[in-house]
Structure 1
Amino acid sequence: MNRIAIDEQAALAKIRGAEDALLALRDVRLAYGNTAVLNGIDLSVRRGQAVSIIGPSGSGKSTILRCVNGLVSPQSGEIHVDGIDVRAQRTDAQRIALRKRIGFVFQQYNLFPHLNVVENLIIAPMRVLGRSRAEAESDAHALLAKVRLADKAKAYPGALSGGQQQRVAIARTLAMRPDLILFDEVTSALDPETVGEVLNVIGELADEGQTCVLVTHEMRFAEDISDEVFFTEGGVIVEHGSARQLFHDPIHERTRLFLQRARGEDRTGRARRRVQDDA
């Protein structure tokens, strides 16, 4: 097969992939004044995939997630979630309808401190989805068991560790039964001892086929969980591919340099945690 035929097949495969995507971004651009934040982002995620976005701080990773659920509006480009044009959802009712389908787990847990864990989980399903209290509570207890917090149903957020609060936040997101969940550096505010318990929950969701997009600095986790990985810098996607290809055989020198540094920091962090444990 000649090179032209190969290129044509690759182009057709890309088109088919976009058509089958649950999430698709095409040439998304965003600037604040003269500062460009996103410079033509192309990204697609098929239903059931776990996709990670990695890159240095300030590279536009979190902004991509905020564009997907309408928290930030780019100046140009296309964003579709299961065929819905995100940029066309301009009224409050339209945005609420969109966000019923897109879960977002932030760095900070954003739990209501005056409500116990179960009450934090049932408030949105009852008010937004119109579920009965009995149905919402039954679902909440099942989800707390799923994230291994069944015994914390009546606890208040202030009595929980950071890792426990983040798992409650994940359960709260699942209570809305979203098609897509966005995770924005959800372990960055946690102490090292509680990172693993949160990553384990996310890994189980991915194994069950929950469509996920993760912005993360946890390189080993991204490699283990991801069907595809996107490396961003300066508001552009420098490289993307399977986790195996990107982490073990990156094409771009910039990707290789970033991964070398990130893995060095990861080893340093693990060594520091071992010293703390020994002490």
Structure 2
Amino acid sequence: MTELILPARAARIDIAPNARANDVLLSLRDVHLSYVDTPVLKGIDLAVRRGEAVSIIGPSGSGKSTILRCINGLIAPQRGEIHVDGIDVRAQKTDPQRIALRKRIGFVFQQYNLFPHLSVLENLTIAPMRVLGRSRAEAESDAHALLAKVRLADKADAHPGALSGGQQQRVAIARTLAMRPDLILFDEVTSALDPETVGEVLNVIGELADEGQTCVLVTHEMRFAEDISDEVFFTEGGVIVEHGRAAQIFGNPSNDRTRLFLQRARGEDRAGRVRRRA
């Protein structure tokens, strides 16, 4: 991984000024999920307050991405409770119910999933017009503002195939924002990018967090997770081994397994930067 230059964290701007500081937007309690006889999640407890940025870290296969998919209803756990702003996610059984839920939960995946035959502007306006019922003028006005926000104001008429991976991922973030979600889930959004384009995507996410957008991130970018996160959850083997404020988890973890994981992750990070400089 190339060394990233991340901007200093700005003061938080609350996007929900009437929300209390302890207002829990997302909660998971005792969530269990198994595939046949293979347990994947073994009693996940997690809470995210409105306006927080939370990172889920841990080794590959520890259940991180599965947690995100349970939050927005893509996967149904066998046991436990999941609530988003008071909505019982597991109780949303019909297509209209799931669509209504996913209007409020944005999901940015590893792959960009843009429509290749549509322009960047069309990729941003199609869902607000068809799902939210916005007029073309309103949707396009929002889309241009969001493209400026992710530093792609000059790419409205381009097609995804003409963009770099980092540019496509920023378009995917802008498309998610166009739905004005309460919560955004980011699933390893830099894993498919060239090292040179990772920073431009992480900077956009960092700015969203600084503005008070509630985010849950699954990431292997440890330096970024330490910088952006209010709370950090370390998972292994389908359980949350340790969680706490970012400064505590990265500065003085209490669990030996967390400490070993971070030592190895930081060692790989440093080695990667040295190799690329050589």
Contact kept, 8 Å, 1:184 with 1:215, in 2: the verdict is: yes
Select the residue among 49, 74, 82 that pairs with 1:46.
49
What secondary structure sits across from 1:26 in the alignment?
strand
1:107 aligns with 2:110: yes
1:150 aligns with 2:153: yes
The residue number in structure 1 matching 2:74 is: 71
Contact kept, 8 Å, 1:80 with 1:86, in 2: the verdict is: yes
Q: CA deviation at 1:84?
A: 0.1
List aligned pairs for 1:54-133, cutoff 5 A. 54-133=57-136
The residue number in structure 2 matching 1:245 is: 248
Contact kept, 8 Å, 1:192 with 1:273, in 2: the verdict is: no
Whole-angstrom distance in 1 between the partners of 2:108 and 2:252: 31
Larger Cα-atom Rg: 1
Identify unmatched segments of 5+ residues in structure 1: 1-16
Whole-angstrom distance in 1 between the partners of 2:35 and 2:268: 31
Q: CA deviation at 1:268?
A: 1.6
Q: Percent identity?
A: 87
Kindly indicate whether structure 1 or structure 2 has the higher relative contact order, using CA contacts under 8 Å at least 6 residues apart: 2
The residue number in structure 1 matching 2:37 is: 34
Q: Could you state the TM-score of these two structures normalised by the residue count of structure 1?
A: 0.91
The residue number in structure 1 matching 2:15 is: none
Q: Could you state the TM-score of these two structures normalised by the residue count of structure 2?
A: 0.92
List aligned pairs for 1:128-277, cutoff 5 A. 128-275=131-278
Higher helix share: 1
Whole-angstrom distance in 2 between the partners of 1:74 and 1:53: 18
Q: CA RMSD in A?
A: 1.0
AA aligned opposite 1:186 = V
Identify unmatched segments of 5+ residues in structure 2: 1-19
